[in-house]
Amino acid sequence: MPETMTWPADRRITIKDLQAATDRGERWSMLTSYDTLTAGIFEQAGVRALLVGDTSAEMVLGYPDTLPVTMDQLIPMVQAVVRGTRTALVVADLPFGSYQAGPQAALANAVRHLKEGGAQAVKLEGGRRVVPQVQTLTGAGIPVMGHLGLTPQSVNVLGGMRRVQGRGDAGGELLADATALERAGAFAVVLESVPADLGRRVSEALRVPTVGIGAGPHCDAQILVWQDMAGLTTGRLPRFVKQYADTSGELLDAASRYAADVTAGRYPDQAHSYA
Ligand code: KIV
């Protein structure tokens, strides 16, 4: 099969590969990843692109939202994900405060993600208001993924993290934002927590892929936070999360049996000791 019809096995996937898959109607998946081992597993599983997201603020660093994470905290995670993969496209999030001041701030931080982190692309949140940033980054040769709908960096103006965005008249605004991002050169647009019908309208309107997270079945690609997908996060999760494993339960069981074995003197036994 010619390489254009399949996914590369001996080089990194590029934004052109993602566009080609979308053009031929093939759905593809993304996951977040923040470390070497999970990155390698997700790549092996056929996940085409990995996002070192600012959700690492919550999932790795224990903050209540995504706002506190910094470039200096994200870059080692980007490096780890790049080191753990050979073919996946690695997208690095631009955290809150790293691009809002304008195109030059965005450029300086995006360059760090590519130069120091080794990422192949960056992601930022917002629509028409970040068009100058997207134009500057793409003009400098840096692929940009947009992010619309529920944009967690704006939690303080959105009034909560569980709100579905883009209902009613807001749908038209979101469509205009998506079109503006595509025109500015974005190679893909994440749609988070929007009605499925709006996900369909945006996907039909854009040539570049839409990457849905709680945006229904019509998006060209899907992304989930890996701890949600694998059942490591517990408690009340958004409706769109499907848990494919009970990692939390498995880990609790393993750690409990280990702790009990140590307490009872069953571990280490002879088989796990040096002669
Ligand atoms: O940071 C992140 O993980 C994200 C995804 C939820 C899309 O932006």
Q: For 191-215, how does the pLDDT look when each residue is reduced to its tens digit (9 = 90+)? A: 999 999 999 999 999 999 999 999 9
Residue 58 is inside which H or E element, if any?
helix 56-59
Q: 161 near 152, Cβ under 8 Å?
A: yes
Mutation test residue for ligand 1: of 32, 210, 222, 233, the one with most atoms within 8 Å of CB? 32
| pLDDT for residue 3 | 46
State the pLDDT at residue 133. Answer: 98
pLDDT value at position 2? Answer: 46
| pLDDT of residue 78 exceeding 90 | yes
Per-residue pLDDT band for 5 (boundaries 50, 70, 90) equals low
Candidate from 35, 66, 124, 240 with most ligand 1 atoms within 8 A of CB, to mutate: 66
User: What confidence tens digit (pLDDT) does each residue in 242-266 have?
Assistant: 999 999 999 999 999 999 999 999 9
Q: Which residue matches tokens 């008249």?
A: 169
Does residue 1 register a pLDDT over 50?
A: no
Strands (E), the chain: 28-32, 49-52, 89-93, 121-123, 144-149, 188-192, 210-213, 221-224
Confidence band, pLDDT 50/70/90 cuts, at residue 169? confident
Phi/psi at 105 (5° precision): -65, -45
pLDDT of residue 200: 98
pLDDT in tens, 19-67: 999 999 999 999 999 999 999 999 999 999 999 999 999 999 999 999 9
Residue 269, both tokens = 């036994």
Catalytic residue among 125, 192, 204, 250: 192
| pLDDT average, residue stretch 227-250 | 97
Whether the predicted pLDDT of 111 surpasses 60: yes
Q: Is there a contact between 247 and 237 (Cβ–Cβ < 8 Å)? A: no
**In b/e form, how buried is each residue of 216-242, taking b as 16+ CB within 10 angstroms?**
bebbbbbbbbbbbbbbbbeeeeeebee
Closest protein CA for atom 1 of ligand 1: 53
Q: Which of the four pLDDT bands, split at 50, 70 and 90, describes residue 79?
A: very high
What's the mean per-residue pLDDT of the chain? Answer: 96
Give the pLDDT score at 68.
98
Signed CA dihedral, 232, 235, 236, 242: sign only: positive
CB of 182 sitting under 6 A from ligand 1: no
The confidence score (pLDDT) of residue 6 equals 86
